[in-house]
Structure 1
Amino acid sequence: MSNALPPNVYISDHSKGVLKTHGWRTVANSASYLLPYLQPTMKILDVGCGPGSITIDLARLVPDGSVIGIEYTSDPLPKALELAVEQGVMNVEFRVGDAHKLDFPDDTFDVVHAHQVLQHIADPVLALREMKRVAKPGGIVAVRESIAPTWYPESAGLAAFWELQTRMARAKGGNPHPGSHIHKWAMQAGFDRSQINCTAGTWCFSTPEEREYWGGSLEGRTLSSAFADIALKDGHATMDELKQQAKAWREWIQAEDGWFGFLHGEIVCRV
């Protein structure tokens, strides 16, 4: 029997445009549902930590505990460690690791957390099973995943971008925007429904600064990231189509009435 891990199905990378969106994330804007459960002495695992902004925030909230952030590639981790040092957060470390096979003993962590990770991996149920395994009895597994976005004003270019992103993710084996059914994955991973608390959260980008941040990062990602490389290489889009989508992002940024919203599904699973 093969012990090979499921393949990497991520359609992006850790280029500047991608990290611009990931690095904006904090506990306050992306994991506030977790706040009532945190205690100062907890040991936390942050799965799919990216540039470490949420990971470092979690470490601040457990000053007498510790946090480990793992990512499938080392690419963003040096900057994550640099950010922690700059901010004087010393109870955090970063490692390379695969969500499908966590390199930790059973019953290690009080909290195992993942933000926008399950949609980007090949086997989310296996990952949740692993997260459950390394959580202590009485601990929690906490996950947040997006549901398809909405925006104003209407834009054929933005619609084409999200259709392309969704199609590419599915073609590579990913699970785009699964927030409405992550509790079902948790049940398949071995949690009883009575152990799972479901909530929802939102992101909203509407001010000029928010539009420039969000739209600008996706404008850049459309033309200068692994997303663009895969779209072209695998025949999902032409360069002209990508340029039109990037132009649509710039037009949305410049629209005074521009608004963009995400709904997210959240689960807290008691072990």
Structure 2
Amino acid sequence: MTATHNSYAPGHDASQTKHHEWRTAENSAVHLLPHLARLAPHTPHLKLLDVGAGSGTITASLAKYLPPGGRITATDISDDILLRARNHAATQSLGTDKITFLKASVYHLPFQDGEFDVVHAHQVLSHLGAPVDAIREMFRVCRPGGGGVVSLRETDMAMWCFWPETPALQEGFRGLMARTLTANGGQDRAGRRLVSWALAAGVPRGQIEAGFGTWCYSEPGDQRAWGEAMIERLKTGQMRSKGIEMGITTEQEIEDMIKAWREWVETEDATLGIMNGEVIIKKGS
């Protein structure tokens, strides 16, 4: 039986996804870039599938690394977020010249076996109830024969490091995010489980390369973008309503987290480091 999607816990409102637009190929898919550089000279019509593309900022920046004849297909399950991604691509003078946008489920990708040279998914599996099924489907549409690549990157909620070490953020907010994610059917330790999930999907161990990469929010602009987005989630997002409904948190604790985020944004030496698991699958014959 094909898995069905649980809802995307943060929701797709612009206020909940705007901070995603900080993400680019350079800060969120650097583990994939050497493989694109390797493939591009020998694959003039390289086809890349970006699964769960969201706001599309990684998608658009990946387009720079494709050969002139290369194309990207970007999928998501939300019409609203696909429109946002399409509009972003238009601002980058990419539009439909390089990228096609399509509503599709990762559990049932409407493509032929081996149709894409590269399949990329960023922060998708952590929101799924059946990540192994999703990897199996991405592996299916990746080109065999040693040239195809599946690229995965996922955060690990246990590996968030705040300075200052405010309990309202380190334990309170991080814990709230992790518990509401899992309550929604997601995975709070996705980063460390990528190899395990790939093996369970039938990928031979010799085709899997694993590593970890980081995000660091420390520059004032990065601090403000991230902090204000998290404040908005605490004020109006599903994380707030679900956390209170399930007894995971209280109104007062939410207010304490909002206050802590506001102070973090204004603190000169504030830093947030987030560890992400990264896997490259080189598909064999």
Distance (Å, rounded) in 2 between the aligned partners of 1:7 and 1:151: 32
SS at match of 1:262: strand
Aligned to 2:25: 27
Aligned to 2:3: 5
Q: Which runs of 4+ in 1 moved over 4 A?
A: none
RMSD: 1.5
Aligned to 2:110: 103
Give yes or no for the alignment of 1:42 onto 2:46. yes
Distance (Å, rounded) in 2 between the aligned partners of 1:142 and 1:121: 17
SS at match of 2:259: helix
Equivalent pairs counted in the alignment come to: 269
Give structure 2 stretches of 5+ with no counterpart: none
Identity %: 38
Distance (Å, rounded) in 1 between the aligned partners of 2:252 and 2:79: 33
**CA-CA distance at 1:72 after TM superposition:** 1.5
Aligned to 1:131: 138
1:1-271 equivalences under 5 Å are: 3=1, 5-38=3-36, 39=40, 41-62=45-66, 63-89=68-94, 90-137=97-144, 138=146, 139-147=148-156, 148-158=159-169, 159-271=171-283
Q: 1:238 to 1:252 in 2, by over 3 A?
A: same
**CA-CA distance at 1:4 after TM superposition:** 5.6
Distance (Å, rounded) in 1 between the aligned partners of 2:279 and 2:20: 20
TM-score, length of structure 2 as denominator length? 0.89
Give structure 1 stretches of 5+ with no counterpart: none
Distance (Å, rounded) in 2 between the aligned partners of 1:213 and 1:120: 22
**CA-CA distance at 1:239 after TM superposition:** 2.9
Distance (Å, rounded) in 2 between the aligned partners of 1:174 and 1:86: 33
SS at match of 2:281: strand
Distance (Å, rounded) in 2 between the aligned partners of 1:4 and 1:61: 34
Residues 112 and 141, structure 1, Cα contact 8 Å, conserved in 2: yes
TM-score, length of structure 1 as denominator length? 0.94
SS at match of 1:23: helix
Distance (Å, rounded) in 2 between the aligned partners of 1:178 and 1:217: 22
Distance (Å, rounded) in 2 between the aligned partners of 1:24 and 1:177: 22
